[in-house]
Homo-oligomer: A and B are copies of this chain.
Amino acid sequence: MDVKAVIGQVLQRIRPTEEERAFVEGLVRELGKIAKEAIERLGLDVKPYFVGSLAKDTYLAGDHDVDLFLAFPLDTPLEELRERGLELGKAIAEGLDGYEVAYAEHPYVRAKYKGVSVDLVPCYDVRSWKEVRTAVDRSILHTKWALENLSGRNDEVRLLKRFLKGINAYGSEIYVRGFSGYLAEILIIKYGSFLDVLEKADFMLRQKVIDPENWLKKEPEIALKTVKRETEEDKPLIVIDPVDPRRNVSANLSWERYGIFYFKAHQFLENPSEEFFFGKTQKTGNYLEELRRKGTHLVTIMFPKPDLVDDVLLPQLERSARGFERALSREGFRVLGWDAGHRAGEAFVMLEVDRREREKVTIKPGPEFFTERGWDFYRKNEKVWVIGKRLYAEKRVKENIIDVILELIEKNQVALGKNVREDIKNAKILLDYVPKELEEDAYLFLSREKWNLKGQQ
């Protein structure tokens, strides 16, 4: 199928229908009215703004969560904004179908209305970047900028977002480090179309700096400082925020995710198919056969998923996985790779290692022989010899990897994520076996199909 036909097919699936549009527009009207009434009732000087992909008309069919921002005057003290903002959110939510309080930089209300999630977020009513006081304040500016510049290319944004989701590179959350929706919009505005953005995958990386609002001319000092800072941190892209020269929109984009985009863009242009947008059915297989094929072993550290959001849990699991990788390497095992996540209520860290057991006796290098510490070493060990100036001795060690891991944990010799430390101390440790619900994760990890640029998305 040629690329236009593919794009046409995809658009049919991701463009909201007239029916959905009408529903969304009705929703926005009603929510606006309910909000205004609540503001008046509480006697507040607050303006409601719809922001995000809904407001910009860049949402994907079926994915129409509402972001309603409640903008307070700039002279409102922060403490008051927090209190009044939460109060107002609750007052609005009273007219909806239930809510809970969620926490970001400050608390906000997450409500439900007609089956749709509605975030009610207090912020400042900023007119420019110079007035930005909290992390969410820019959203109003982002929405405004996108609306002014999209010029009808909304479907191109939809295509790019769906493509990024399909190849698993969408989302700027810390555990994804991919492309945000706003970044996708900027790229479409800058390069013109979905296909143009894909064709620029290599060019962008080489050009490095993308500056759609010419901040480098308008505010050279500030914008250059941003470029310098982000360059030093070796970011793949530096996209100077059209509404704020101090910010790199792609600050959270990792080289890995960019790499996936890079190769998938190439593959799509060479051989377009809908699979890029929706993912193939995962190629699956038997993890035990994979272990036999590779001659390696799988250690799984597993415990009931703690009550933490993914933003917190996943980085902590990854930190712990890296901790095990380092500790086991020091202990003489080779760690070929790791994976971490949760599935069916179980959090897990998987480690692929080269062997189940290590030699029972290892060689321990000691200090130089003619030193105080040399004499200590000489006295403490049963067999001692000299190579060069140093003493060496035999050391008996735990042999099975499970014993080694238990001892490492017990002696606090693994760097673990602080919120999962206690869980890991009580975790199950499985060798070359995982329970049924983790079998697919084990396969995708061991086979590297999970990350294989040439496999499914």
Q: Which residues of A contact B (CB under 8 A)?
A: 202, 205-206, 255-256, 259-260, 262-263, 293-296, 332, 334, 336-337, 354-355, 357-363, 369-370, 378, 382-389, 391, 394, 399, 447-449, 451-455
Contacts and interface: CB of A to CB of B under 8 A. Distances in A.
A293 B389 contact: no
A443 to B, nearest CB: 13
20 contacts: A255-B389, A256-B387, A256-B388, A263-B378, A293-B360, A293-B361, A294-B360, A294-B361, A295-B357, A295-B358, A295-B360, A295-B361, A296-B359, A383-B455, A384-B452, A384-B454, A385-B448, A385-B453, A386-B453, A394-B448
Nearest to A255: B389
Contacts of A354: 332, 358-359
Contact of A454 (B360, B382, B454): B382
A386 B451 contact: yes
A382 B354 CA distance: 21
Which among A259, A334, A370, A388 has the greatest number of chain B C-beta atoms within 10 A?
A: A259
A386 B332 CA distance: 26
A453 B360 contact: no
B383 A452 contact: yes
A383 to B, nearest CB: 5
A296 B388 contact: no
Nearest to A453: B384
Contacts of A202: 370
Most buried by B among A359, A362, A388: A359
Nearest to A290: B361
**Most central of A262, A293, A370 by chain B CB within 10 Å:** A370
Given A262-B369, A370-B202, A370-B205, A256 B386 contact: yes
B255 A388 contact: yes
